[in-house]
Amino acid sequence: MVGESVIIDVHCHVGYTARRVESGVPRFSFERDGAAGTPGFDSYMSPRLLRRPGFFFVRRWLGVDPKLAPGDDLDRCIEAINERHWSAAESIDRLVLLAFDEYRDDAGRVIGAAERGQRFGTDQYTSNSLVRAICTARPDRYLFGASIHPYRTQDGRDACSMLTEAAEAGAALVKWLPIHQNIRAEDPRTIAFLRKAAELGIPMLIHYGGEMTLSRQHMEFESPIPLLGVLRELRAGGHMPTVMIAHAATPSFRWQSDAGHRALVDALLGEFADAPLYGEISALGAFGRTPWLRRLARRKELHDKLVWGSDFPIPVMTWAFWRHLDCRTRRQINELPSWIERSYRLAHAAGFDDAVFHRAATLLA
């Protein structure tokens, strides 16, 4: 565990269009050939994702050459952009780089990369082996964020066994996105995984609420309320892991229901006030979510239950704060070369307590 004064970005994505990786770092035994659905790849983006408007705009804002097709040239461009943003985040001591597991159906079967118009499938995959190799090369800067679908099985092993292997390799947390990956909170496999995470001391970063980048394949899992019920039972038995709810379960736009967010806030201030449950505030400077950044910043009674992250490469929209931040402050933030640094500075300017930015250092494995 690192010092409490350290600032950690708990939510920093890694993703390439068609990446195969060979390094001296040992691969995880459950990823000997990379993706299960697209063997040989350690990271890919689906044809469906590459056609989504959100991906188009992020790619344009990042300055990615629109002429580059998926493959090595585009991935080298993405790699250079990532490094530029990661290295220029001068206020941030560590970045948790996130793997992202594939979509699995209820039987645990992998469908693979989703074609355009396909109902179910994976939009983005990044192997644990790839992210571990990146982090091993710069242990002073990066922390390994694992992603293991709780329905995974392989060679007679279940996801809990894989989690143990990832923990032994230094995983700082595990990331899930239930509405995209198909993860039901009440499933016995999910509950067993959460119990194992508690046993190993591995925090969970779980996305509930709206989603604009990846396909929303299972909107029945949008609300954190079922998870709160599971955590209630695990806590009663002394088996609750540390859980951070990404984006504080906020909707993507103000006209969408905020029932899940309100339920989370009530839990943070009430039943789970003294439990290891937190709201994570990444991407609240993004288009559509900016009102929630202001609202949560004003709620000082919540700040002891919040954790900061950036959700890079999601951009920061300072123009939405023209009534709340002066022109000089907005200009200074916009001139920063790193979107991660912009996310941090915007949240700081919005009025969050310093403890929100330091909290991750006390929570991560």
Q: What is the CATH number of the domain that holds 120?
A: 3.20.20.140
pLDDT at 242: 98
Report the SS3 class of residue 113.
Answer: strand
Would you say residue 87 lies in a domain? Answer: yes
pLDDT at 100: 98
The region that residue 53 occupies, defined by phi over 0 for left and psi between -120 and 50 for alpha, beta otherwise, is alpha
Both tokens of residue 112? 């693979």
Would you say residue 202 lies in a domain? Answer: yes
pLDDT at 171: 98
Report the SS3 class of residue 81.
Answer: helix
Both tokens of residue 238? 């002394």
pLDDT at 212: 83
Nearest to 180 by CA among 231, 228, 154, 219: 219
pLDDT digits (tens, 9 = 90+) for 239-262: 999 999 999 999 988 788 999 999
The CA-atom distances, in angstroms, between 237 and each of 29, 96, 232, 266 are 32, 30, 9, 22
Would you say residue 3 lies in a domain? Answer: no
Nearest to 176 by CA among 149, 155, 195, 156: 149
Question: Model's pTM, two decimal places?
Answer: 0.96
Torsional sign, CA 352, 341, 249, 291? positive
Number of domains in the chain: 1
For residue 54, the one-letter residue type is G
Would you say residue 112 lies in a domain? Answer: yes
Nearest to 104 by CA among 190, 183, 40, 189: 183
Would you say residue 1 lies in a domain? Answer: no
Q: Is 259 in contact with 245 (CB distance < 8 Å)?
A: no
Would you say residue 280 lies in a domain? Answer: yes
The CA-atom distances, in angstroms, between 110 and each of 16, 233, 253 are 19, 30, 31
For the chain, residues with pLDDT lower than 50 are 1
Both tokens of residue 316? 């920061």
Both tokens of residue 323? 């009534």
| φ and ψ at residue 307, rounded to 5 degrees | -130, 140
Structure-token match 């300055």, residue found: 63
d(CA 283, CA 323): 19
Q: Is 68 in contact with 60 (CB distance < 8 Å)?
A: no
Nearest to 113 by CA among 104, 105, 124: 124
Q: Distance from first CA to last CA of the chain, Å, rounded?
A: 6
* Burial of 108 (C-beta count, 10 Å sphere; 0-12/13-18/19+): middle
Would you say residue 2 lies in a domain? Answer: no
Q: Is 170 in contact with 131 (CB distance < 8 Å)?
A: no
- What's CA 85's distance to the chain center, in Å? 17
pLDDT at 358: 97
Nearest to 214 by CA among 69, 25, 34, 52: 52
pLDDT at 1: 44
Would you say residue 15 lies in a domain? Answer: yes
Residue 323 sits in which domain range? 8-363
